[in-house]
Structure 1
Amino acid sequence: MTERLDTPEHAPAPEQTIGVVQGTALYVCAILGAGVLVLPGQAASLAGPASLLAWGFSLLAGLPLAFTFAALASRHPDAGGVATYAARAFGPAAGGIAGWWYFIAGSVGQTIVPLTAGYYLCAAAGLDQRLAPLFAAGVLAAAVAANLAGLRIGARLQIALAAAVAVILAAVIVIALPQLDPAAFRPFAPAGPAGIGRATIVLFFAFAGWEAIAHLSGEFRDVRRTLPLATACTAAIVGILYLGVALAVVGTGTYGTPELDRIALGRIVENGLGLSAVVIMGVAAAIICLGTTNAFVASVSRLGFALGRDGWAPHWLGRRSARGVPVAAVLTVGGIGGAGLLGSALFGWGTDDLVFVPSVLVLVTYLLGAAAAWRLFSGRSRWVAGLAVALLLIPAPFAAAHLLVPAAIAAILLGWRVARGRRTG
């Protein structure tokens, strides 16, 4: 991208503080969050037990994608992430479009993730799910505050949060094992291939973290060594936990309505341990969602900074504080997430209503990013990127009319750039 505004006085370089452990923790919390709490139920409602195929495909597609983004971030460390890669491969316009696709997806996600915590906390307190936005606002505010305090504090906290996430989800899987019923897997694919395809599209939201951490690549120590190692560790952890939790939801039949899908893991724990476990699961959900929100506010705000720095967003987004924190971008991401929570409170928007928008935006962002890698790389890395592109194209037709969203964003952005050029020309 062009029109760089990151002069030393306006945008001091961030400290390189993230190692393998912190990087893995950030990745785990970025990927395991609202996705693992609500999407197993929603995917099962769309595809029945065959949703397990959608999970398997998503994990399979995620492997070449994860290592492609790790390679891109290692070779081109920059806060712009996929926007930087697309610009290098296809020109500034492609970079700006890719950046905005992911910025909007990530910002809307800061409505979905905290709202998920709100659902579980409402269940723990015996309250109506319509009060979930109130609890969600507290989760979002805490994550924004942690990021304003600086990444060093957030990263240390992330290690503890990631460990808590892994322990909590492993406990849910163990609790579910005695409840599994072979009859729950029949009929296996009640909605046919179309249901599996729709479920796969929804699940892209569960894997948005592969791109998210790329925006923090400039803050890794020895990025060419630490980032690929963190990616490999995360892929193993995420694969085991996602498949285990999806199997638990399907095998216990804990899905079928939006209200149940939103708190499926809580119901599994409740059935296995008793009513007192609902409170424990509510607290656990809040911890998981806080970790995810913290990681995404950090990464998406860096992307917002890069868009402002490179002339694809208002220039004030492209500035950092004396401590290297993009304060305006952090507040912007938090503000978009807060606006979504306000809409949820006023109009009853649920995670099941909102998730298709960021999911489709993540899909097209990943496609463009992997295509950029295919053009920029050579040898084995290029073939890995090509495999990622091929796998991502398979579910794309099932996005149907939702593909109009990224098309509209691209059209609006290009129109704004033309109008801006005329005013300044």
Structure 2
Amino acid sequence: MVNTKQPARLVRHIGLGHGVALYVSAVLGAGVLVLPGQVASMAGPASLLSWVFACVMGVPLAWMFAALARRHPDAGGVATYVGRAFGPAVGGLTGWLYFAAGSVGQTVVPLTGGYYVADALGLGPGGAFAVAGAILAAAVAANLAGARVSSRAQVVLATGVATALVVAILAAAPRMSVDRLTPFAPHGFAAVGAGVIVLFFAFAGWEAVGHLAGEFRDPDRDLPRAVAATVAIVTVLHLGVAAAVVLTGTYGSERVDHVAIGLLLRGALGGAAAPVAAVVAVVISLGTTSAFIAGVSRLGLSLAEQGWLPRPVARIHRTGVPVGGIVAVGLVAAGGLALAAALGWGTETLVVTPSTLVVAVYLLAAAAGARLLRGAPRFCAVATIVLTALVVPTAAENVLIPVVVVVLAVACRWVVARAATDRV
């Protein structure tokens, strides 16, 4: 008897508007809630140079990943690009680095929203983690519900993110003063480079949507347009929020850094600012978490199909939803939240892991782009290598993080292969 049942496949459902929404949600993520204050506390007013550098670097990154996604539309995303350039082993390890960064990052992202809600309701640290858990659960549920629900939600959330940040910038404008630019670099210019490393987390997102390139209805037409629109949007809003934080002096302690956007609004809206900021934070955190789960789950699917993750991670529901990957990302993120709550870690501690891993992934992806691409996209890849290399020395103290992930990847690969052999 012939089996006529067709295997479930990912559905081409992403148009231009949805693509811009996914990019904005992924790139203009929850990092904008806490990183302006955190980086300003690290580098003082000179942190604005960190933001400018990161925004400049985002341009070649965006075009490089768009070019790679158009030429190699695959759920494996960055792992596929590196694998085609340097072989499947290096590609698999790169996929693991990004899968770890994206999954652990979804511990950080919901917690940023948790801070704002806890501040508005007068809750303690436990309340922030409880809210973070709820945000993560909602994002996982939205992705499991399928493409149609997730698509509509992303458009609404991305619009809300951009609008809320514009309101925060405008609310802070009357209190901005250039006098706060002095002293400009109280912690030295080395702190500017350290700030750029932290900001890798804020700008991680271009590669995440690359995993969804195979689900664009017309990637040749819509991917470049989505990239161009998003570069303009995120550059203006990132620099605007960073300038507002520095020029109003809204930084200097963990408590202030955690709720900087809320404090910007509070100066203009008074007592209503805290609940408004909490809603904004939940919108941003939910949108970012949902977008990253969508992208990273597709990477998990690809890695599982290649034997780098357990086979159940590759499961696709008959509706086209990669349930195995979604559940895997959700479990890693939930485990990270539980560990952070038990150890009392905040986003300042947690963000180091995904930021460092993203640096490693960008270097590998850019090297692949320099080998696979031609013309302007290849120039963008080389520019990415040069710009990333300028700030890599400031991340040297965290070099063990990618090393540990590589060791875990090799161990998982061996266990999966051994299990497959035993079944035979």
Of 30, 34, 39 in structure 2, the residue corresponding to residue 38 of structure 1 is 34
Q: Is the 8 A contact 2:97 2:357 kept in 1?
A: yes
Counterpart mapping for 1:160-175 below 5 A: 160-175=156-171
Deviation string 1:28-52 (CA, Å, 9 cap, x unpaired) is 0111222110000111011111110
AA aligned to 1:49 is P
- Of residues 400, 403, 408, the one that matches 2:399 is 403
2:127 matches 1:118: no
- Name the count of aligned residue pairs: 419
Q: Secondary structure at the match of 2:138?
A: helix
Counterpart CA distance in 1 for 2:64 and 2:104 is 25
CA distance in 2, matches of 1:413, 1:303: 14
Detail structure 1 runs of 4+ shifted over 4 Å in the superposition: 8-11, 418-423
**C-alpha deviations, 1:299-346, integer Å up to 9, x for none?**
111111110011111111122110111112111111111112212322
Alignment of 1:223-302 (within 5 A): 223-302=219-298
Q: Deviations over 1:184-218 (max 9, x none)?
A: 11111111122111110000000111111011111
TM-score (normalizing by structure 2): 0.96
After superposition, residues 45-56 of structure 1 pair within 5 angstroms as 45-56=41-52
The question of 1:147 aligning with 2:133 is answered no
The answer for the alignment partner of 1:5 in structure 2 is none
Change beyond 3 A, Cα 1:422–1:331? closer
1:3 equivalent in structure 2: none
Indicate conservation of the 8 Å contact 1:309/1:319, yes or no: no
Q: Distance in 1 between matches of 2:172 and 2:191?
A: 25
Q: Is the 8 A contact 2:69 2:210 kept in 1?
A: yes
Runs (5+) with no aligned partner, structure 2: none
Counterpart-to-counterpart distance in 2, 1:45 and 1:10? 55
Shift of 1:407: 1.9
1:137 — aligned with what?
A: 133
- Equivalent residue number for residue 86 of structure 1: 82
Amino acid at match of 1:392: T
Label 1:418 to 1:111 Cα distance change in 2 as closer, same or farther (>3 A). Answer: closer
Cα 1:163/1:416, change in 2 over 3 Å: closer
2:75/2:214 contact within 8 Å kept:
yes
Q: Amino acid of the residue matched to residue 191 of structure 2?
A: G
Q: Which moved more, 1:408-417 or 1:235-244?
A: 408-417
Look up the match of 1:390.
386
Q: What is aligned with 2:355?
A: 359
CA 1:421–1:338 in 2, change beyond 3 Å: closer, same or farther? closer
Structure 2 distance, partners of 1:418, 1:339, is: 23
Q: What is the TM-score of this pair, normalised by structure 1?
A: 0.95
Give the % identical residues.
52
Equivalent position SS for 2:252: coil
More displaced, 266-275 or 238-247? 266-275
**Is 1:412–2:408 an aligned residue pair?**
yes
> Structure 1 residues 310, 420: closer, same or farther in 2, change over 3 A?
closer
Question: Which residue of the partner structure matches residue 206 of structure 2?
Answer: 210
Q: For 1:10 and 1:398, how far apart are their aligned partners in 2? A: 51
Q: In 2, are the aligned partners of 1:151 and 1:298 still within 8 Å (CA)?
A: no
One-letter identity of the residue aligned with 1:355: V
Separation of aligned partners in 2, 1:174 and 1:78: 41
The aligned counterpart of 1:4 is: none
Aligned pair in 2 of structure 1 residues 116, 218: CA closer, same or farther (>3 Å)? Answer: same
Any stretches of 5+ residues in structure 1 without a counterpart? 1-7
Query: Does the aligned pair in 1 maintain the 2:308–2:416 contact within 8 Å?
Result: no
